[in-house]
Structure 1
Amino acid sequence: MLQKPTRPAMLALRWLGVGAGPTALALAFLWAGGCFSPARVTQNRLMGELHNAGSYGHGFRRAHAKGVCVSGWFDASGDAAHLSQAAVFHEQHVPVIGRFALAVGQPYMPDSGTTVRSMALRFMPPDAQEWRTGMNDPPVLPLRDARDVSDFFASQQIDPATGKPSPARTKAFGLTHPWLKSAAEKNAHRFISSGFADDTFHSLDSFVLVAADGTKTAVRWTMIPMQPVKPGDGKTGDHDYLFRTLIGDIHERPLQWHLVMTLADAHDVINDPSQIWALNDQTIDAGTLTLNSIESEDGGPCTGITFDPLVLPPGIQPSDDPILQVRSAAYMRSFSLRSGEKRSPSAVTPNLIQTYESKKS
């Protein structure tokens, strides 16, 4: 049977259909790169600002560059099971891979007691989707949205004359962002513990727990140490003293934390991480984290993991907090960059850890 000749209009539509997918994809990349709105805060812009603020790069994470891998497990208490269907709140001995780090862009910087510390975790239930979370020890995040993040990184730009951020630029950031004053002051007066093992780590961002019946509860969470808490002594004589202490602590005994969920009250602000929640909010002990192994990032299990806070299992959802999207995008771009770079050895080497293992044996 003879086919009717294709009309010019139909031919054009067919070609349009063929090209629509690639065109849309190209436009998406241009949009993500900020080509249509130069003022947008993009992944590349954030990476550039981190670079200007002294981020080392060269195969390392653009922030929290100095770190070490840890592993262990999580035992649910069952007390949060009615709030979320996520397997991690229902099961025992869920394998965990984690990372302790300092919030610095330089992987070889000397340890300082006042530097922000982080705990990042990947929970891996055997027959369920994993959960990743990254937490810091300040109790609140003094940033509200993507613009605040970009402005803050820009304020930390290194002055070539001094090799440090300009005090005037840092002061100007505070003056032009008065809505962040309360959060900054709370962090400035936070208790600083002696090290990683006795530190408390906060989710900073808000999330939503979803129960089996669909009920939703907004929460923030905290890892509270079960080890005795001691004040930091500001020790700076040992270049890597915080990590040496952590290695010694974890070889001496398993380290443990309670995962405590704080349930949002009606007056708590969910979508702004710079807002401090009420001190009398209800809390629930969701279970116990146990870490009993530590390895260098040189070949360690955490090295290739991006602790993206939006890698969430059924039962945990992101809130409308805009910083979550910023963190996820920045982590993924950082991972993409460092994956294509040659990496030098970590400050916390396998030999350093093996020295403590030899002492224990």
Structure 2
Amino acid sequence: MPRRPVLPPHAGAYLAIAAIVAAIVGAFAWTAGWLTPQRLTAPRMTDAIEATAATAYPGFRRAHAKGVCVAGRFEAAPGGAMLSRARVFADPTTPLVGRMSIGGGSPYGLDAQARVRSMALVLHAGDGSEWRMAMNSFPFFGATSAEAFFEQTRASAADPATGKADPERVAAFVAAHPAAQRFAAWAKSAPWSDSFANTRYHGVHAYRFVAADGQARIVRWAMHPRAPFVEMTPDQRAAAEGDYLQTELRRRLAEGALRWDMVATLAGPGDDPADPSTPWPDDREQVVLGSVVLDSAQDQADGPCRDLNFDPTVVPPGVALSDDPILAARAAVYAQSFDRRTRETARGADVGAVPPTETAR
């Protein structure tokens, strides 16, 4: 009789966020042709993502369903223009629209219980170009290949009886994938911030910055908050109201604008731009590109971010995609999810109503 897989030490932490990560990255395989087209299509892959949520929410995003719209500007720093000819680094300020969100497929999740927080932005440059970014609080992905992404999605499917992923199935996936083990260790050990405003957000993927003289550099970027980090304890998370992060963000914005420095890490010898699951060494050169400044927030039900697709492959001249096949594959599934939710909204799905059984605490 086959032995059941033994839960690794960090499987509990990984299980709590398996569906979140799978929903974000599990579908990227289709577009890059990693899986046999005859057996897997973009709609079927999106179906697999939807299976990671216990309940369907028509009209909402398939991942990071709960969020709040934000607006502000990007302020360029000299370091940006040194690395890239993108217009946002040449102009003093560039307007932006964005979205702060939590991980998960439910638009009624409890803010303080979500392990993953996200920042998504669209920068509208003066030359008409756009730069779309999708960043997360985790610093790396939990899988290294298309096959692993697909396995992760299937392992994270919600069990109809419990509404959660099967822990044995997740344990088997984690045990077989060192990258998943590293991710589980991060999820268990990394401190929880007490605000959207003091969370660091990572682009995770590598990009190619091209300067005015044609010189190209491989970089990853992250948004470093100016607000001091404050850890949120387990007791505080358990006692927090359901919309805690959104309420706290609005309170801060009422007192003044919030800032993050956009910091690029330059690739060094041995850093693989095609592998988003491996962090680069801490001693790599870093350059401050500018600052994101947020000064307002609005409900996503009628805010400017509601109908935006934050596809991170949309980049301006001066920024190019790296050889990361996962990054290159994201566009089609983002488009598939966007198409589904906009069609559902057109048919009358109410993206603002809270079901009686899911009223936030």
Which bracket does the TM-score occupy, shorter chain normalised? 0.7 to 0.9
Shift of 1:86: 0.3
Provide the residue aligned with 1:212 in structure 2.
212
Shift of 1:179: 4.3
Provide the residue aligned with 1:313 in structure 2.
316
Indicate yes or no: 2:286 matched with 1:283.
Answer: yes
How many percent identity over aligned positions? 37
> Which structure is higher in RCO with an 8 Å CA cutoff and minimum separation 6?
2
* SS in structure 2 of the partner of residue 341 of structure 1: helix
Q: Aligned equivalents of 2:187 and 2:351: distance in 1?
A: 32
Provide the residue aligned with 1:223 in structure 2.
223
Provide the residue aligned with 1:22 in structure 2.
none
Change (3 A) 1:259 1:52: same
Provide the residue aligned with 1:236 in structure 2.
238
Change (3 A) 1:347 1:193: farther
Provide the residue aligned with 1:346 in structure 2.
352
Provide the residue aligned with 2:263 in structure 1.
260
Provide the residue aligned with 1:141 in structure 2.
141
Greater mean deviation of Cα atoms: 123-132 or 286-295: 123-132
Provide the residue aligned with 1:65 in structure 2.
65
Deviations 1:154-192 (A, max 9, x none): 111111221211111111111222344334423432232
Query: What amino acid is aligned across from residue 344 of structure 1 in structure 2?
Result: D
Provide the residue aligned with 2:79 in structure 1.
79
Q: What TM-score, normalized to structure 1?
A: 0.83
8 Å Cα contact 2:141-2:277 kept in structure 1: yes
Provide the residue aligned with 2:168 in structure 1.
168
Q: How many residues align?
A: 318
Provide the residue aligned with 1:250 in structure 2.
253
* SS in structure 2 of the partner of residue 334 of structure 1: helix
Greater mean deviation of Cα atoms: 145-154 or 221-230: 145-154
Indicate yes or no: 2:38 matched with 1:37.
Answer: yes
Query: What amino acid is aligned across from residue 247 of structure 2 in structure 1?
Result: R
Change (3 A) 1:164 1:227: same
* SS in structure 2 of the partner of residue 185 of structure 1: helix
Provide the residue aligned with 2:13 in structure 1.
none
Change (3 A) 1:180 1:160: closer
Shift of 1:114: 4.5
* SS in structure 1 of the partner of residue 238 of structure 2: coil
- Say which of 322, 330, 334 aligns to 1:331: 334
Query: What amino acid is aligned across from residue 93 of structure 1 in structure 2?
Result: T
Shift of 1:63: 0.4
Q: Aligned equivalents of 1:180 and 1:115: distance in 2?
A: 15
> How do 1:173-192 residues align onto structure 2 when only pairs under 5 Å count?
173-192=173-192
Change (3 A) 1:132 1:78: same
Segments of 5+ residues of structure 2 without an aligned counterpart are 1-29, 355-361
Deviations 1:236-257 (A, max 9, x none): 3311111111111112211100
8 Å Cα contact 2:87-2:126 kept in structure 1: no
Query: What amino acid is aligned across from residue 177 of structure 1 in structure 2?
Result: H
Deviations 1:254-277 (A, max 9, x none): 110000000000121110100110
* SS in structure 2 of the partner of residue 242 of structure 1: helix
Q: Aligned equivalents of 1:71 and 1:243: distance in 2?
A: 14
Query: What amino acid is aligned across from residue 352 of structure 2 in structure 1?
Result: S
Deviations 1:82-129 (A, max 9, x none): 211001112112001000011110111222345200000001112241
Provide the residue aligned with 1:300 in structure 2.
303
8 Å Cα contact 1:259-1:289 kept in structure 2: yes
Provide the residue aligned with 2:201 in structure 1.
201
Deviations 1:300-323 (A, max 9, x none): 111111000110101000111122
Change (3 A) 1:314 1:158: same
Greater mean deviation of Cα atoms: 45-54 or 90-99: 45-54
Provide the residue aligned with 2:94 in structure 1.
94
8 Å Cα contact 1:107-1:347 kept in structure 2: no
* SS in structure 2 of the partner of residue 212 of structure 1: coil
* SS in structure 1 of the partner of residue 111 of structure 2: coil
Query: What amino acid is aligned across from residue 312 of structure 1 in structure 2?
Result: V
Change (3 A) 1:145 1:347: farther
Greater mean deviation of Cα atoms: 88-97 or 145-154: 145-154
Root mean square deviation of aligned Cα: 2.3
Change (3 A) 1:347 1:246: farther
Shift of 1:197: 0.6
Deviations 1:62-81 (A, max 9, x none): 00100110000011011121
Q: Which has the larger radius of gyration?
A: 1
* SS in structure 2 of the partner of residue 267 of structure 1: coil
Q: Aligned equivalents of 2:228 and 2:193: distance in 1?
A: 10
8 Å Cα contact 1:198-1:225 kept in structure 2: yes
